[in-house]
């Protein structure tokens, strides 16, 4: 008798269910987001505050610069008036930034040595030049640069032009005074003594001219820095 074999029961396939559909929220536009709007507002406010601060700071800076420029102008005008008054009789400007002082004195030194200028004429010219030089350097010496420039916020370079101009021109005028005295003595002397005195006067005049031009150049610089410089045009003779 045949025995039937037992068949294995079939296993049931387990079907994994698919993912449940999830809700995906719709993203808000960038401008509709509260955080973005707050951040943007902060940036705008900060920019506005920064702009206002910059504008005020710039305005204060401009005001300070304008005030400083005004003080520099006043100082330069004051100094110019005093210097011009002191050296007016000593000579005339030689553009662009030089000054020709006591031209007759230089001419007489050469003329007296060559015999083309009479001793009396040279002596008279030298006496007049010496008097003008004395008055000029005394007037220059009285210019109180400290009171003109102190405690006004000027930089050192600007202030130095004042001092240099005064000191160089004062020293130059003292040399012109001394040269005039030598010319007077030369006019009264003869021979080798006259020659020696004239050579001494000639050497002094060279140094005096260099100092005068240097001081006058600094004087021009004061006016340029102060914004008041007006160039002097060279005189033109009629018919030229």
Residue 27 φ/ψ, nearest 5 degrees: -70, 135
Specify the DSSP class assigned to residue 117: S
Share of the chain above pLDDT 90, in %: 68
pLDDT band at 238 (very low <50, low <70, confident <90, very high): very low
**Which residues fall within 8 angstroms of residue 6, CB to CB, at 6 or more apart?**
none
DSSP letters along 18-65, please?
Answer: PPPPPP-PPPPPGGG-HHHHHHHHHHHHHHHHHHHHHHHHHHHHHHHH
Domain range annotation of the chain: 76-225
Q: Report pLDDT digits (tens) over 51-100.
A: 676 665 666 677 889 999 999 999 999 999 999 999 999 999 999 999 99
**pTM score:** 0.73
């Amino acid at each position: 008798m045949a025995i039937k074999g037992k068949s294995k029961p079939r296993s049931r396939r387990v079907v994994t269910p698919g993912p449940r559909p999830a809700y995906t929220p719709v993203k808000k536009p960038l401008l509709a987001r509260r955080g973005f709007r707050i951040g943007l507002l902060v940036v705008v406010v900060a920019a506005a505050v920064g702009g206002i601060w910059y504008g005020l700071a710039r305005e204060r800076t401009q005001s300070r610069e304008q005030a400083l420029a005004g003080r520099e102008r006043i100082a330069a005008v004051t100094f110019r008036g005093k210097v011009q008054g002191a050296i007016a009789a000593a000579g005339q400007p030689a553009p662009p930034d030089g000054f020709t002082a006591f031209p007759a004195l230089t001419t007489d030194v050469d003329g007296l040595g060559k015999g083309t200028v009479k001793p009396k004429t040279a002596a008279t010219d030298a006496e007049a030049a010496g008097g003008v030089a004395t008055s000029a350097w005394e007037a220059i010496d009285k210019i109180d640069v400290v009171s003109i420039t102190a405690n006004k916020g000027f930089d050192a370079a600007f202030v130095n032009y004042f001092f240099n101009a005064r000191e160089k021109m004062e020293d130059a005028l003292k040399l012109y005074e001394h040269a005039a005295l030598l010319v007077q003595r030369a006019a009264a002397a003869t021979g080798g003594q006259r020659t020696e005195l004239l050579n001494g006067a000639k050497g002094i005049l060279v140094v005096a001219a260099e100092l005068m031009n240097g001081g006058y150049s600094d004087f021009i610089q004061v006016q340029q820095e102060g914004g008041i410089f007006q160039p002097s045009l060279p005189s033109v003779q009629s018919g030229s």
